[in-house]
Amino acid sequence: LHVERGLAPATIRAYRSDLADFAASRGVGRSWASSPDAAVDYLAARTRRGRRGDPGLAASSLRRRAAALKGFYRFAYGEGSIGVDVAAHLDLPRPSRLLPETLTVEETDRLLAAAGGEDGGEQDGRDGRHALRDRALLELLYAAGLRISEAIGLD
């Protein structure tokens, strides 16, 4: 993992720990190489452990465990250690997507004022042309709901 994928030592330690936990889980010893069932059952068990007060793993931890298993199975299949491409049957849990925070009207007004003021005149040593350009760009981003990358790509 370090040489071929350039992963950090901390990531390698975490993957090692994840794979050791997988190896120690029930039912893995006899069926891990023949079907995806052992890996799927393991991940399902880690989603919610079923004990009172134990909510299971956080989505990010579960995703890392699934990535460790998928990488392990991909390696084992590529090396010829197993005859079934188990990794092809494992899906990584989707990360949750949070909505971005938005600016208040007052924050937007302050941002536009700082960019170029109302008159587009000289501010902070910039000439009026640059101040006007900066304000127009911010107005475009705000009004059209553009991402920075989308605005940069405009002619």
Predicted local confidence at residue 75, as pLDDT = 92
For residues 142 and 27, the model is more confident at 142
Q: Is the pLDDT of residue 19 over 80?
A: yes
> With the CA atoms of 15, 45, 84 and 18 taken in that order, what torsion angle do they form, in degrees rounded to the nearest 10?
10
Predicted local confidence at residue 69, as pLDDT = 93
Q: Is there a contact between 92 and 71 (Cβ–Cβ < 8 Å)?
A: no
The alpha carbon of residue 12 and the mean position of all alpha carbons in its chain are separated, in whole angstroms, by: 18
**pLDDT tens, position by position, 28-55:** 877 788 888 888 888 888 876 555 666 6
**pLDDT tens, position by position, 73-122:** 999 999 999 988 888 888 777 777 778 788 888 998 888 888 875 554 45
pTM of the model: 0.57
CA contacts within 13 A on the Cβ side of 155: 0
Coil/strand/helix, residue 152: helix
Which pair of tokens denotes residue 121? 């005149």
- Tell me the pLDDT band of 59, cut-offs 50, 70 and 90: confident
Residues 18-36: what's their mean pLDDT? 85
Predicted local confidence at residue 120, as pLDDT = 45
Q: Is there a contact between 38 and 27 (Cβ–Cβ < 8 Å)?
A: yes
Q: Is the pLDDT of residue 17 over 90?
A: yes
Q: Is there a contact between 73 and 87 (Cβ–Cβ < 8 Å)?
A: yes
Q: Is there a contact between 68 and 7 (Cβ–Cβ < 8 Å)?
A: no
Predicted local confidence at residue 78, as pLDDT = 92
Q: What is the C-alpha R_g of the chain?
A: 26
